[in-house]
Amino acid sequence: MGKLDGRVAIITGGARGQGAAHARRFVEEGAKVMITDILEEEGKALADELGENARFMKHDVTSEEQWKQVVAETENVFGPVNILVNNAGIVMVKEIEELSEAEYRKVIDINQVGVFLGMKCVLPSMKKNDSGSIINISSINGLRGSAGTIGYDASKFAVRGMTKTAALEFSKYNIRVNSVHPGPIDTPMIASEETRDIVKEMAEGIPLKRVGTPDEVSKLIVFLASDDSSYCTGSEFVIDGGVTASN
């Protein structure tokens, strides 16, 4: 038996990277998964690979209407939602004096507003099950600052605080809400040209002397989605190889 047998999950930003790793692990553990992303071709390919227990929807997480459509279609195909993994996010590396208002707002809209809308829109579905687990992907940048990433840092600090508020409000429905704070993980997001040097420098200072893998994060996500974490809510789960241990 899998740890997520019979559970229905939505994973945003699930077409590649950490999101795709989470989707694969969830299906292996017995869940039915709605994968959402703006990357339509990659998302469809992943859903096809995973078989009948996975579906894909193109989804802009900044749109409340699209969130409602995702929840409705997930219920239609699989049933009421048990698990939401708010994984979609972007990073933009620019110092404050170079960053435009539009660029800043784009990061906030995806990383912060997208999480708010996800929690708001999935709540009615989870209430039908009288339980649920919401996992908001923050970052170690939600615990400390980093030069050149003000929009990302602001949004990830916000996700940390929003998680605690939602945990308090949703507890009466037996819905748990936790945040996950990865350090550098080997995904397309950190492999871009603009972040490569920053990640290389950061990796040299990691106590475990390497970046993490998406599968390592997925194991933590499964724990939080399953009954193994039944007394965990409003908490921060750091997975960073020891980066923040001395902070």
Q: H or E stretch including 132? A: strand 132-137
146: phi > 0 → left, psi -120 to 50 → alpha, else beta; which?
beta
Which of 71, 54, 73 lies closest to 14, judged by CA? 54
Q: H or E stretch including 215? A: helix 214-225
Q: Is the distance from CB of 18 to CB of 239 less than 8 angstroms?
A: no
* Domains in the chain: boundaries: 8-239
Tens digits of residue pLDDT in 55-79: 999 999 999 999 999 999 999 999 9
Tens digits of residue pLDDT in 28-59: 999 999 999 999 999 999 999 999 999 999 99
Does the pLDDT of residue 246 top 90, yes or no?
no
Write down the pLDDT at residue 205: 81
Tens digits of residue pLDDT in 129-157: 999 999 999 999 999 999 999 999 999 99
Segment 182-198 mean pLDDT: 73
**Torsion of the alpha carbons at 196, 200, 205 and 210, rounded to the nearest 10:** 100
Tens digits of residue pLDDT in 163-185: 999 999 999 999 999 999 999 88
DSSP 111: I
- CATH class assigned to 8-239: alpha beta
Q: Is the distance from CB of 113 to CB of 163 less than 8 angstroms?
A: no
Write down the pLDDT at residue 211: 87
Handedness of CA 136, 140, 143, 148 (dihedral sign): negative
Write down the pLDDT at residue 204: 80
CA gap 108, 80 in Å, rounded = 29
Among candidate residues 104, 152, 173, 231, the one labeled active-site is: 152
Q: What tokens does 207 get?
A: 């106590």
Name the pTM for this structure: 0.94
CB neighbour list of residue 172: distance below 8 Å, 6 or more residues apart: none
The yes-or-no answer on residue 152 being catalytic is yes
Residues in the chain: 247
